[in-house]
Structure 1
Amino acid sequence: MRIATFNVENLFDRAKAMNLENWDQGQPVLEAFSALNTLLGQQVYSEADKRRMVELMKTLGLEGADTGPFVLLRRSRGALLKRPKEGDIVITAAGRADWAGSLELRDAPVTEEAMRNTARVIGDVKADVMALVEVESRPVLSAFNTQILPAVNAIPFDHVMVIDGNDERGIDVGIATRADYPIGDMRSHVDDRLPNGQPIFSRDCAEYEIHTPSGQNLLLLLNHFKSKGFGSKATSDARRKAQAARVAEIYKQRIADGYSHIAVLGDFNDTPGSAALAPLLSGTDLKDVFGHASFDNGGYPGTYGLCNADNKIDYILLSPELFGKVTAGGVFRKGAWPGSRPKRWDVYPEVARPADAASDHSAVWVDLAL
């Protein structure tokens, strides 16, 4: 059987701030969005909180209306703010209980060619079980599976599932499987907490038990760790380290529960030698498929961007018994932008510019004699 992981960076729609070609433009928007969302969620708003909210609303283009270029402030009931004809926004709410609503990122469609190239990658990898990172929702994944995959002559999967995670942007981890590999038990860890009450997982560590034709079950732990994209380095590193440590705990518990065929996979947003991933990569007996003798990295050690060593951030980690069943593996890059001076790898003819790439990530796959 073949399992794979692929960060699709959204299938149909993506936050407008994340769609900008220049990440330096989108990053401040996402940082301001995250900071304002945190403040709006507090039970009591101090005067300092209110001043900061006003600053962030201006940054997000909300000084004149609830709809900004990149975000939308939904106010259903109660009173959050006033906008005088002259002067700054005035925060009138004393805390979260005084108003009902939400702050949301505005979406924009993924380009049609990028969408089709994403489908081509998924079809050409030919996985029996595929972990998909940054999926909007199960209905979106189902529609992509039944409508877009056939449009590029790819075979749709028989089962798809997404468990809604913690990310307000709607980028979750999902799974797609063939008929002979139905999904069994599922577990979510969205409510796992740090000592300060903050959720451990930015998205989720979703557990899926997969039944195989041989009768041997496979347990997948799907992950998308905290990115380095916004927030301080120290904060981001600490969050990823906590996530890695918790996944290591879950893995060890499942081994103790009697599972022997376990794969931990997804986008970990850090490199193999990083301190953040050490609890998972060094603190367990899990083995990275990149280290198997039959694995072909295609001449490049990374999985993201131009696939240099410092961009090795997508993983398939296997329990020792499962690692012993590996027969082949590799990185599929035909949908990823190859650079131009010179091009590093062959791509689909439809990948004519970076915006047409299926994703900034390449897919990673492994074959198992299971």
Structure 2
Amino acid sequence: MRLAAFNVENLFDRAKAMNLDTWSEGREVLEQFAELNRLLGQIIYSDADKRRMAELVVKLGMEKSDTGPFVILRRNRGKLLKRPTDGGVIVIANGRADWVGSLELREEPVDEEAMRNTARVMSDLEADVLGVVEAESRPVLSAFNSLLLPAVGGTPYRQVMVIDGNDDRGIDVGIMTRENFSIGMMRSHVDDRTAGGDVIFSRDCPEYYIATPKGSTLVVLVNHFKSKGFGSAQSSNARRRAQAVRVKEICEALLADGIDYVAVIGDLNDTPDSEPLKPLIESSLKDAFRHPQFDDGGFPGTFGLGNEGNKIDYLLLSPKLFGKVTRGGVFRKGAWPGSRPKRWETYPQVTSPEHAASDHAAIWVDLDI
């Protein structure tokens, strides 16, 4: 059987702020959005909170309207703010109970050719079990499966599953399986918390129990760890380390229960030598990239141009599952290869970075189970 993982970077829509010309511009918008969302969710608004919320509303382009270029403020009932005729914004609510509504990121469609290239990768991988990172929702992933895969000559997967996670931007993790690889029990860790009460996983760390035609049970944990892009490096590193520690605990419990075949797959947003990933990398799990039958095509990274510092996608396998690997590799045909010179062969339709299926390459292993 073939097990694979692919960060699709959203299938149909993504936040407009994430499509800005520069990464720093998008990061600033998303950080302002996150801060305003946090302040709006407080039970009581202090005078300082109100002033900061007003500043952020203006910075996000909503001084004159609830619809900004990248963010929408939905006010259903109650009174949150007023906009004086001479400009500016004044927050008049004293707390979250004074109004009903939400703050949302505006979305726009992903490039159509990029969507088709994403579908080509998902089809040409020929995976029996595919972990998907950055899917908007189960309905979206299911629609992509049933509509886009046949459009590029592919066969839809038999089962599609996404459990809603903690990211309010619609960045979830899911799984797709072929005929005879049925998903049985599922367990979510969306509400796992630290000793201090903080939610551990940025999205989720779902456990999917999959029956293989040979009668084996494979438990797949699909993950997308905290990125380096938003918040301080210290807080991001601490969050990823907490996630690595918790995943290690979950895997150790599974192995102690007699489950031999366990795989942690997905985008862990850090390199194998990083301190945050150390608890997981130095656990009993083994990185498929280190298997003698794994071929990275001469490029050790999985993100961007495949440089060593961009090895952030993983197939971490339990010892007995690692022993069942027959071969593996990195599928780069949908990824932008650079231009001077091109680093790898791509689909003819990948004529610019905007048409790439994703900034991530897909990764896979064949397993004799």
**Per the shorter chain, which TM-score range?**
over 0.9
Give runs of aligned pairs for residues 348-363 of structure 1, distance below 5 A. Answer: 348-363=347-362
| 2:331 corresponding residue in structure 1 | 332
The match for 2:253 is: 253
Q: Distance in 2 between matches of 1:303 and 1:251?
A: 24
Letter in 2 for 1:62: M
Instruction: Please report how far the alpha carbon of residue 22 of structure 1 lies from its aligned counterpart in structure 2 after TM superposition.
Output: 2.0
Residue in structure 1 matched with residue 287 of structure 2 by the alignment: 288
Query: What SS is found at the alignment partner of 1:205?
Result: coil
| Structure 2 length-normalised TM | 0.98
Identity of aligned residues (%): 66
After superposing the two structures, state which structure 1 stretch, 253-262 or 188-197, moved more.
Answer: 188-197
| CA–CA distance in structure 2, aligned partners of residues 241 and 159 of structure 1 | 32
Relative to the length of structure 1, the TM-score reads: 0.98
Cα distance in structure 1, aligned partners of 2:46 and 2:257: 48
* Residue 17 of structure 2 is aligned to residue 17 of structure 1: yes
1:312 aligns with 2:306: no
Post-superposition shift, 1:57?
1.3
Q: Distance in 2 between matches of 1:189 and 1:74?
A: 30
1:263-313, Cα deviation, whole Å (9 max, x unpaired): 00100000000001011111x100000000000000001000001011000
Q: Which residue of 2 aligns with 1:365?
A: 364
CA distance in 2, matches of 1:227, 1:169: 14
1:211 — aligned with what?
Answer: 211
Cα distance in 2, alignment partners of residues 56 and 307 from structure 1: 37
Name the amino acid aligned to 1:254: L
Q: Which moved more, 1:152-161 or 1:72-81?
A: 72-81
1:239 aligns with 2:228: no
2:301: which partner in 1?
302
Aligned to 1:322: 321
Instruction: Give the AA of the match of 2:275.
Output: A
Code of the aligned partner of 1:52? R
- Displacement after TM superposition at 1:89 (Å): 1.0
Equivalent-residue separation in structure 1 for 2:66 and 2:257 (angstroms):
50
Deviation at 1:261, TM superposition (A): 0.4
Q: In structure 2, how many angstroms separate the alpha carbons of the residues matched to 1:251 and 1:102?
A: 37
Partner of 1:78: 78
Give the equivalent residue in structure 2 for 1:123: 123
Amino acid at match of 2:315: I
Segments of structure 1 that go 5 or more residues without pairing to the other structure are: none
* SS class of match (1:143): helix
User: What residue identity is the alignment partner of 1:287?
Assistant: K
TM-superposed deviation, 1:87: 4.1
Question: In the comparison of the two structures, how many residue pairs are matched?
Answer: 369
- Matched letter for residue 297 of structure 1: D
Q: Residues 1-370 of structure 1 correspond to what in structure 2 (within 5 A)?
A: 1-282=1-282, 284-370=283-369
Q: Alpha-carbon deviation of 1:134? A: 0.2
Q: 2: CA distance between counterparts of 1:333 and 1:289?
A: 17
Distance 1:288 1:173 in 2: 20
User: Is the Cα–Cα contact under 8 Å of residues 200 and 242 in structure 2 kept in the other structure?
Assistant: yes
Q: Output the CA distance in 1 between the equivalents of 2:122 and 2:138.
A: 16
- Structure 1 residue ranges, 4+ long, deviating more than 4 angstroms after superposition: none
Runs of 5+ unmatched residues, structure 2: none
CA contact (8 A) 2:63 2:87 kept: no
| Residue aligned with 2:206, SS | strand
Q: Give the residue type in structure 1 aligned to 2:98.
A: D
d(CA) in 1 for partners of 2:91, 2:196:
27
Q: Which stretch of the first structure deviates more once superposed, 226-235 or 126-135?
A: 226-235
Q: Output one character per residue of 1:75-120: Cα deviation in whole Å (capped at 9) or x when no partner.
A: 1111111111124211111111221111111110001100000000
Distance 2:246 2:37 in 1: 25
CA RMSD of aligned residues (A): 0.9
What amino acid maps onto 1:182 in structure 2? S
- Structure 1 residue 51: Cα displacement: 1.4
The amino acid across from 2:302 in the alignment is: T
Please list the CA deviations of residues 150-182 of structure 1 after superposition, one character each: whole Å capped at 9, or x if unmatched: 000011100000001010110100110001101
C-alpha distance in 2 between matches for 1:146 and 1:167: 25
What amino acid is the match of 1:334? K
Cα distance between partner residues in 1 of 2:104 and 2:316: 34
CA–CA distance in structure 1, aligned partners of residues 196 and 69 of structure 2: 33
Deviations 1:308-333 (A, max 9, x none): 01100000000000000000000000
